[in-house]
Amino acid sequence: MTETSKRGMELLHDPRLNKGTGFTAAEREALGLTGLVPEVTETLETQLSRVMEQLGKKATDLDRFIYLMSLLDSNETLFYRTLMSDPARFLEIVYDPTIGEACLKFDHILRRPLGMYLSITQKGRVREVLRNWPEQDVRFICVTNGGRILGLGDLGANGMGIPIGKLQLYTATAGVPPQGLLPIYLDAGTNNEPYLADPLYVGLRQHRPPTEELYAFVDEFVEAVQEVFPHCCIHFEDWTGVDAINLLARYRDKVCCYNDDIQGTAGVTLAGLINALKLTGGELKDQRILFLGAGSAAIGLANLIVSALGQQGISAEVARQQIRMFDTQGLVVSGRSGLPDHKKPYAKDLPPSQPFDHTSLTSECPRIVEAIDDFKPTALIGVSTVGNLFNQEVVEAMARHNSQPIIFPLSNPTEKMECLATEAYTWTKGTVVFAGGVQLPTVHLDGHTYLPSQANNLYIFPAVGLAILATNARIVTDEMFIEAAHAVADQVTEEQLKLGMLFPPQSEVLEVAIHTATRVAKLVFDSNLAQVARPDDIEALIRSHVYTPTYA
């Protein structure tokens, strides 16, 4: 049955077509809706005002999240009209930080399943299963195996909230049409014992398989996508660090794909560094960067910085000398036994340190301070998922060596952040250049007002996605994320920089995304990666693909 043939209750139950009280009298007569909806015909704006009133009566952001997901189940247009009416307000409800709590409780708040759930028990017939999806022209799949959700760890099937939310950001922040978006959970089990024992858990009740078995399943999935959805870009999201790095390397030169935890996080952090250096007066090539955490996010950002410096004629070997990493075993050094391959390029010929004890942060502070005093980093970046790791001693050590220390505690949700903005500004007496992993309130200190920045991937991946959609890019390159970082950074005004803002206001995120996508698309054409003809006006091409939530 085609969409245009739907009538009556079947039409009202289709969230993509349903207008609720927005159907006109003529439409009701023609579509068998008379008597099935109230007599009044309301505009989308009137419906939006009702949504706002009902949201205002909810007690918590999780309640608002559940309400908005119910709205999506019934009226997709009104859902996106709501999100796009005030992005700064609603993106933190449908995504970070509320999405963390929603994922922890996903199986208990589940109402109507969204997206697809591919189980490893279906191995051998993934193509057949993918064809059950009703939309044939899928342009983006966001896929996770739930192995490392935000800073919360292995959430198994409960991690499905992440690809659902990520794809909503494609539409809400960059206008990527929602009908071409497909969230997928690749279910190969979980090692989360409480979930396996929970009678309401909705995933496969078995432990995760060996790596070879998992990768064989992912291989079949990737190959099936090429056949079933030939114009689709695969967005890998929230896999464990080693898997995230290995799978990206496995497919990035073969199919259109990327990993947002690696490349999106790197892109937005690079944008923050570019603008931070406008405040400190330094150049990227002269920075010394210390990472607390050496997982996929740290490696991705380090690699992107090396690539960006390569564009300036600096060799990878020289660039890597400016980067050190501190992980659960202490400083990453070349003499460490069992060092993973992806960390080896950043291992330094230094004496090994003692293992890092997450349970006793106070005892570890002298060791971190010692690393700071030895390396004298200009930038400290936290991707450790260890809350309060940047304590007063650590932050003050950065301030001793820098008149304007760059400190980016990027872990999320909030309780996983290495430090809060109020702490960083207070301990540095207002000199810090700050960006956090979540949005934090305004800081008032000694008569000054600071607007802490949020290094949110939403500035990067949806815009890159819009460029991929418009150009039908064959593959996704690091250069596209570097260009996106520069484009985002360039859209912050001098006045905003003076207030501590390293990124544009989220209220302007759609226009920011359009301008960013235009620059990325130009790079795609210049690199001969596009599969459509190059137009005279690239921005017009981008805008022609932007979805607007209005009733047809």
Half-sphere exposure of 446 (CA within 13 A, CB side): 7
SS (H, E, C) 167-208: HHHHHHHHCCCHHHEEEEEEECCCCCHHHHHCCCCCCCCCCC
- Name the CA radius of gyration of the chain, rounded: 24
Name the residue type at position 549.
Answer: P
- Helix (H) and strand (E) counts in the chain: 24, 14
What is the spatial distance between Cα 387 and Cα 107, in angstroms, rounded to a whole number?
26
Q: Which token pair is 531?
A: 């599969």
Closest CA to 167 of 144, 197, 146, 140: 140
Cα-flanking dihedrals φ and ψ of residue 333, to 5°?
Answer: -125, 155
What is the spatial distance between Cα 423 and Cα 480, in angstroms, rounded to a whole number?
35
Nearest 5 degrees, angle CA 115-CA 227-CA 255?
90
Closest CA to 464 of 140, 229, 143: 140
Q: Which token pair is 502?
A: 């390293």
Closest CA to 452 of 463, 461, 441, 462: 441
Q: Which of 19, 58, 67, 95 is catalytic?
A: 95
What is the spatial distance between Cα 481 and Cα 197, in angstroms, rounded to a whole number?
41
Chain-centroid distance of CA 340 in Å reads 25
What is the spatial distance between Cα 379 and Cα 435, in angstroms, rounded to a whole number?
11
Check residue 18 and give left, alpha or beta (phi > 0: left; psi -120 to 50: alpha). Answer: beta
H or E stretch covering 292: strand 289-292
Maximum CA extent, the chain: 80
Q: Which of 166, 343, 416, 522 is catalytic?
A: 166
Q: Which token pair is 485?
A: 């970082």
Task: Note whether 142 and 167 are within 8 A (CB).
Answer: yes
Tokens 């226009």 map to which residue?
511
Can 95 be counted among the known catalytic residues?
Answer: yes
DSSP 8-class letter at 333: B
Angle, helix 509-526 to helix 461-471, in steps of 10 degrees: 50
Can 57 be counted among the known catalytic residues?
Answer: no
Tell me which residues are annotated as active site. Answer: 95, 166
